[in-house]
Structure 1
């Protein structure tokens, strides 16, 4: 007998809202009012991608089936992007993986910005051979694709599982979302969450971690036991603001979070090492020479001579963030700072280069997650 899983936030964890669609529901990681304030196609795309979103069940079923429709973005003339991945986790252990297929593909012409829609079929994934005792089952959705959930069914009754632990709310850029990781449970944030035994709410937004007030208000209003933010790289490669605005914006962002979480442990993580932006401002751009060689890579095109006038680099953002957090710690004993270079520094980039000059590969995601878990969950501000 088939038992259908209710598509509610009790079962779809890591989403903040579920949008009803003609097929089923689409998980979102931001509220609709926030997207309306942004009016930004990039943010609208990435917040609908399922970083940290998983379907959670308590069941004795030996077979679970997910029917879904994915939407993905590719770039004409660029190297083919790999299909997304769906992971099955049973009682905390990753036990199976399936590649996504079909769905709707939007192919963007990088020269003109004109999209071409390529339709495809729904995806049906069945995980068989599960142990026939009551267990916690999670189906982790792709971190880099939009997935509409059409139906989830099992061959035994299902119920929502108990919470796996403290709720960790994290906000960052594409690296936090998972860019270039191999699977949804392999992003550094997912690795760290599993090591730390916490429930992850991932607000990592590729290209869109921009000190937006509506993200701070969303974090203010989202229940959390632990909060972290990692901001900087998108402010540089978008060339969005100067040092004066960054300082005020960061203060305002943290103030807003504190309005809803006055004593929650709050960790500010400075940016990881990225050679192209260490001393060179943005904006960032596609590396056309790499594209001609069939590789996707990025470069910084700003003028280092303008740094004294306030143009942002990773070096200036780390220094200002450290100064700012240190100032605030005098009146906030629950505010903490982590140097991102201890997670991934210059020596790490030399040994484990950023494949596209901007994002870590799958192995690097894993060791960054392990380092974060050790520094923050095992011994640091989120210990216990």
Structure 2
């Protein structure tokens, strides 16, 4: 087995790479943007949703040492281990998990955190076909992952760029992939595969807050197609009212257009989420059943004072896009309920009242691809 130096040209889906004591840590936001956010954003952007190693090799065995950081809640059973997806020539060929790693424990009663140390672990994929092939290893989308060492039984080179369009997507934990079973089965990953595009996923759990620094990152990042999915975090975080939300969205779009004046830009409103359709935030976690669930704690009567609900957010986003599209023919709107609506909620309810499960991620990804990448859609080839 040969040890391969892990360099940024072997990694896709990240915007920056931090050299740690153990290896290479991919980031989905640059350091200057991370410095303007909070701890929630720092944790979310370092979880490598959409980040994957992309190798061209005829190797039949690939080993990857990583040091993961898992996030858990004190006195609550830990989440399942994060999954590594191995794709060969674009097809899912194997899956694996690793051991060890650090654990970031959150105490919901006291608001404190504690980091427990742990060793690096190894994922191993063997029996790969003995021929030249493109190998992708998608990193666990819910575990901060330091890349420590890569070993193969054959030489590797970066997968060359094929000219495929780059799709940059920004959204909340739903776009990040919460409750999806594996990193290549989050809805953006599935939609990108169907659309034949390169995914850059800037979905940040709990952190799609119409932040100006995120807009500047989108502005400055090369991309052919751009989508932003806004609303659920603004509502369940109870971070602004209607008067502030509209101008903030205008400013967000203005900033993106400074760097991408004529690229297709799609604004996506929230999927159906019954707890927040007519009830404002803030949202709260609920462990009363022994599992993590969410509930809305706002008063529906406060909607008259400008408190945001998902219904109000959709109405405002549709109004803003309609207004701006008169002078911006490459600006589009998609109602999130076309991806997951009332009929879907009856068939596939949100298991924790907020996030879709694996089957629902697949449905959303297929529908998004059909509505946007197909002929007549805003992202058609």
TM-score, scaled relative to structure 1: 0.97
CA offsets per residue over residues 310-342 of structure 1, 9 Å max, x none? Answer: 100000000000010011100001111111101
Aligned residue number for residue 233 of structure 1? 232
Aligned residue number for residue 351 of structure 2? 355
Q: Does 1:383 align with 2:380?
A: yes
Alpha carbons 1:79, 1:296 under 8 Å: kept: no
**Cα distance in 2 between the residues matched to 1:163 and 1:325:** 33
What is the CA-CA distance between 1:189 and the residue it aligns to?
0.4
CA offsets per residue over residues 236-267 of structure 1, 9 Å max, x none? Answer: 11100000111000000011001000111111
Alignment of 1:1-384 (within 5 A): 1-8=1-8, 10-38=9-37, 40-163=38-161, 165-287=164-286, 291-379=287-375, 380-384=377-381
**Cα distance in 1 between the residues matched to 2:92 and 2:65:** 20
What is the CA-CA distance between 1:35 and the residue it aligns to?
1.1
Alpha carbons 2:97, 2:123 under 8 Å: kept: no
Alpha carbons 1:3, 1:157 under 8 Å: kept: no
What is the CA-CA distance between 1:375 and the residue it aligns to?
0.8
Alpha carbons 1:12, 1:55 under 8 Å: kept: yes
CA offsets per residue over residues 289-316 of structure 1, 9 Å max, x none? Answer: xx22212111001111111111000000
What is the CA-CA distance between 1:350 and the residue it aligns to?
1.5
Q: Structure 2: 5+ residue runs without aligned partners?
A: none
**Cα distance in 1 between the residues matched to 2:49 and 2:363:** 18
**Cα distance in 2 between the residues matched to 1:370 and 1:174:** 18
**3-state SS of 2:150 partner:** strand
Alpha carbons 2:171, 2:208 under 8 Å: kept: yes
What is the CA-CA distance between 1:78 and the residue it aligns to?
2.7
| Structure 1 segments (4+ residues) deviating >3 Å | none
CA offsets per residue over residues 345-382 of structure 1, 9 Å max, x none? Answer: 01111211110000000110011101111111123111
**3-state SS of 1:50 partner:** coil
Alpha carbons 1:163, 1:199 under 8 Å: kept: no
Aligned residues: 379
**Cα distance in 1 between the residues matched to 2:168 and 2:86:** 22
What is the CA-CA distance between 1:3 and the residue it aligns to?
4.6
**Cα distance in 1 between the residues matched to 2:77 and 2:282:** 23
**Cα distance in 1 between the residues matched to 2:58 and 2:302:** 62
**3-state SS of 1:373 partner:** helix
CA offsets per residue over residues 17-62 of structure 1, 9 Å max, x none? Answer: 0000000110000000001112x00000000001000011111111
**Cα distance in 2 between the residues matched to 1:371 and 1:242:** 31
What CA RMSD, in Å, does the superposition of the two structures yield over aligned residues? 1.0
What is the CA-CA distance between 1:218 and the residue it aligns to?
0.3
TM-score, scaled relative to structure 2: 0.98
What is the CA-CA distance between 1:163 and the residue it aligns to?
2.5
**Cα distance in 2 between the residues matched to 1:126 and 1:150:** 14
CA offsets per residue over residues 208-260 of structure 1, 9 Å max, x none? Answer: 10000000000000000100000000001110000011100000001100100
Alpha carbons 1:3, 1:156 under 8 Å: kept: no
CA offsets per residue over residues 74-129 of structure 1, 9 Å max, x none? Answer: 00133431110000011000100002321000111110022232222211111111
